[in-house]
Copies of this chain bind each other. A is one copy, B any other.
């Protein structure tokens, strides 16, 4: 009966996003969730919005997904499938940077996605594939296994943290941001060093800082490694 309402917008919207009528399935749910996350407005996903997009009620999703936290884990791993793991050839250092950049780019594709990477530890097949490749690269770099085992945690954590910070819109370079304002307002009397270093603190693009930080990490890891 409620389907006959000619003004129902949901039918039109759902046609827009997915032209063929979607059968309800775990995969369709995860895909729609990821679609909402990567929407241009930096959107967030919700079970109710997913249900609406799939032309059903929120309760129906529970046939395919235990709860929100399971959905988050599924969505995260689904997103990680886009990480290019064996794109680059060449020396290990280049491959490491390429992999981590790809990883970071995927996580930064949505503020919520980066956030999720902290809330739910990624343990799906794609996360494993990334870990495997990182171990490969570090082995080629001559890093011993115990060091490498702990190092990959630092590297992924680093990328996730950068993505989370960047996604939330804190470009430290922008002179109009709240960060810049706070630092510029920091009185030299109380915070002399912050004041003196304020130029350097806010200098550099995201790219430059990423490369610099990765270099710090690699140097530290290599210096700990028994090669």
Contacts and interface: CB of A to CB of B under 8 A. Distances in A.
Interface of A: 115, 118-121, 123-124, 127-129, 131-132, 135-136, 139, 145-146, 148-154, 157-158, 160-162, 164-165, 168, 170, 172, 178-179, 181-183, 186, 190-194, 196-197, 200-201, 203-204, 209, 212-213, 215-221, 223-224
A77 to B, nearest CB: 10
Nearest to A209: B150
B201 A123 contact: no
Nearest to A198: B149
A204 B150 contact: yes
Nearest to A164: B118
A194 B224 contact: no
A168 B118 contact: yes
Q: Is the interface of A mostly helix, strand, loop or mixed?
A: helix
Contact of A135 (B131, B190, B193, B220): B193
A139 B220 contact: no
A132 B178 contact: no
A201 B182 CA distance: 40
9 contacts: A118-B161, A121-B168, A123-B178, A123-B183, A148-B200, A149-B197, A150-B204, A161-B161, A217-B217
Contacts of A217: 216-217, 220
Most buried by B among A118, A153, A154, A221: A118
Contacts of A129: 191
Contact of A194 (B132, B151, B164, B197): B132
A168 B117 CA distance: 11
Contact of A219 (B128, B148, B193, B223): B223
A123 B212 CA distance: 23
Contact of A146 (B151, B157, B162, B200): B200
A124 to B, nearest CB: 8
Top 3 closest A-B pairs, CB basis?
A220-B220, A149-B200, A123-B182
A190 B127 CA distance: 13
